Amino acid sequence: MSKSVQSLATGLVYALGEKPIFKPGDAIRILDRSPIGHYRVPIYLRGKVGKVETVIEPVAVDNEEEGFGRNAGSRRHYYRVAVPMSEIWPDYVGSPRDGLYIEVYETWLEKIAG
Amino acid sequence: MSEHTHHDHDHPHAEISQSERPGFYDIMETAIRELLIEKKLFGADEIRHQIELLDSRTPALGAKVVARAWIDPAFKSRLLANGRTACEELGISFYDDTQLIVLENTEKVHNLIVCTLCSCYPRPVLGLPPDWYKLKPYRSRAVTEPRAVLTEFGTHIPDDVEVRVSDSTAMVRYLVLPMRPKGTDSYDEEQLAALITRDAMIGVIPVSLQTGRTAQ
Amino acid sequence: MTQTEKLVKRLPNDIGGLPGDPIQRIEHELEPWEKRCHALADVLDYHKIINTEEKRCGVEALGAEMVGKLSYYERWIVAFANILFRKGILTPTELALKTKEIEARWAHEHPDGHEHR
C-alpha cells in the first residue's frame, strides 16, 4: 500500500460488524442455542466444531431477522464453515475426510482454540 | 359431453381437464394475484414476464458454463473465484440476488449440494429443482449418508475420494463443476455441453459419454 | 424434555439428519398454477412485499401437519395468504369473496363442468 493510501486509512472507524471476526482456517464452534419461530442453523449442527473455509463477502443482513421483514440495519458476515462428518455423526459411514459445508451467520459462531 | 356449437376449438373431446374446475390452491393463487393487481401492488405483465424468465432458465445454461470451464482454464479460474460474475460474463444474470460458489470435482474430491431446510438451488443457472431435491429423503439423508445416497443414483465414490456436502442456508447458491469425462479431447464446446446434465451439476451423478441431457 | 418441547424447538422444515426413505427420483412438469405461484413469489420479492426469507418463515409457521400434508407450492400460496393478512394488505374476507367470484366465473364459463377431484 502506498504511503498516501495508508495515511487515508489511519483513524478510520468501521461500522459494527463491517470487519469479519473470523478468518479462513479459524477453528470455530457453531453455538448451541434453541430459537423457536425461525432459524437458519439446522439442529443437526448445533454445538459442532469445525473450521472457517471462506469469509463470504459482502456483509449482509441476518436472515433470521429478515424472516420477520427486517431487511435493513446492521450487517455482518456469513462464513462457509467446514465440519467433518465424523464430528456430526458418531456412526458415520464413509471416509474420515468427508465433510459438511454450510453458511453460518457471524452471530452463530465462536472461536475456539485449535 | 356438452355440445360445441357456439365456438370453435380443435382439442379432442376426451380432454376432461377442460371441464374440471381449477383446484382449491389454483383458485387461491388466482384470487391473491387478481386482488394484488387490483390494488396496484404490481401489474399482470410482471407475472407474465417472470414466467417467461423462469422458462428461459434451464440446465442448458449451467452446461454452457461447465463446458466453457472445461476448455478455457482462465475462465475456470474466474468461475471458481466468483461463480456469479463468471456466469454474468456469459450473459447469465442473477435475477434473485444470490451469489454462486462453484464446487470443482476432482480425482480427490466429490461435491454434492443440498438444502436441508428448504429448497435453495442455483435457479438462475439451472432453472427449477426436481421434486426429489425438495423432498424429505434427499434432504434428510444427503447430510448423514451421502455415499449411500450417491449409490442410489448409481454413483460409487471410492473411499480415497473425499465427499463434500454443501448445505445451502443463506444467499450463496452452489453449482458442481463435474469432472470432464475421458475420451472427449476432440469434442467442441457444444458437444461437451450436450453431455452435461442437471444431475451432474447437483453432484449426484458424474458426466459420462453414455448420458446426455436427454437422459437427466 | 417433553414431547411438545421438541415439537416447538424443531421447525417442521428442519429435517437434516432425520431418518429418511430411499430416494425416488420423482419430478413433474409444473402445473400452470404452480408456475404462476413461483412467478408471484419472485414478483412479491422484487417489490419488497414478501421477501424470500419471509416466505420461508411463513411456510414454517404453517406448522408440522400442514407442512407434511400440503405440496410444495400449496404451502407457498397458503403462506402468502397468511403473510398478506398479517401485513394488512389483504383480509380473509376479501380473499374469500374473490374466491367465490372466481368460482362463479368458472361455473358460468363451463356450464357442464365438474369439481376438481
pLDDT, tens digit (0-9, with 9 covering 90-100), for B38-85: 999 999 999 999 999 999 999 999 999 999 999 999 999 999 999 999
A9 pLDDT higher than 90: no
- ipTM score for this prediction: 0.96
Whether C113 sits inside 8 A of B143 (CB atoms) is: no
Q: Which of C30, C31, C42 to mutate to test the interface with B (most CBs of B within 10 A)?
A: C42
**Candidate from B145, B159, B170 with C-beta closest to A95:** B159
Ranges of each domain in chain B: 16-54, 58-202
Alpha helices (runs of H) in B39-103, residue ranges in sequence order: 44-56, 59-71, 73-81, 83-89
- What are the two backbone dihedrals, phi and then psi, of residue B130, each rounded to the nearest 5 degrees? -75, 160
CATH second-level architecture of A17-111? Roll (2.30)
**Range with the lowest mean pLDDT among B13-17, B78-82, C45-49, C95-99?**
B13-17
Give me the catalytic one of B77, B93, B118, B140: B118
B2 pLDDT higher than 70: no
**Candidate from A60, A93, A102 with C-beta closest to B145:** A93
How confident is the model at residue C19, as a pLDDT? 96
Whether A66 sits inside 8 A of C11 (CB atoms) is: no
Whether C17 sits inside 8 A of A69 (CB atoms) is: no
How confident is the model at residue A29, as a pLDDT? 98
The verdict on whether B118 is a catalytic residue reads yes
Report the share of chain B in percent with pLDDT over 70.
88
The verdict on whether B87 is a catalytic residue reads no
What is this structure's pTM? 0.92
Which residues in A lie closer than 8 A to residue B169 (C-beta atoms)?
A: 40-42, 63, 102-104
Kindly report the nearest CA distance between residue C84 and chain B, in angstroms: 9
Whether C51 sits inside 8 A of A34 (CB atoms) is: no
Whether C17 sits inside 8 A of A63 (CB atoms) is: no
How confident is the model over B90-127, as pLDDT tens digits? 999 999 989 999 999 999 999 999 999 999 999 999 99
Strand ranges across the sheet with A27-30: A109-111, A27-30, A49-61, A75-84, A99-105, B162-167, B109-114
A71 pLDDT higher than 90: no
The verdict on whether B115 is a catalytic residue reads yes
C24 pLDDT higher than 90: yes
A101 pLDDT higher than 80: yes
Separation in Å, CA A58 to CA A24, A77, B172, C92, C112: 15, 7, 11, 40, 58
**Domain boundaries B58-202, corresponding CATH code:** 3.90.330.10
C-alpha–C-alpha distance, residues A45 and A38, integer Å: 16
**Looking at residues A30-45, what average pLDDT do you find?**
98
Q: Which of C11, C43, C49, C73 to mutate to test the interface with B (most CBs of B within 10 A)?
A: C43
Whether C112 sits inside 8 A of B2 (CB atoms) is: yes
B11 pLDDT higher than 80: no
Residues 6+ apart with CB under 8 A from C19: B140
C107 pLDDT higher than 60: yes
**Confidence band, pLDDT 50/70/90 cuts, at residue B8:** very low
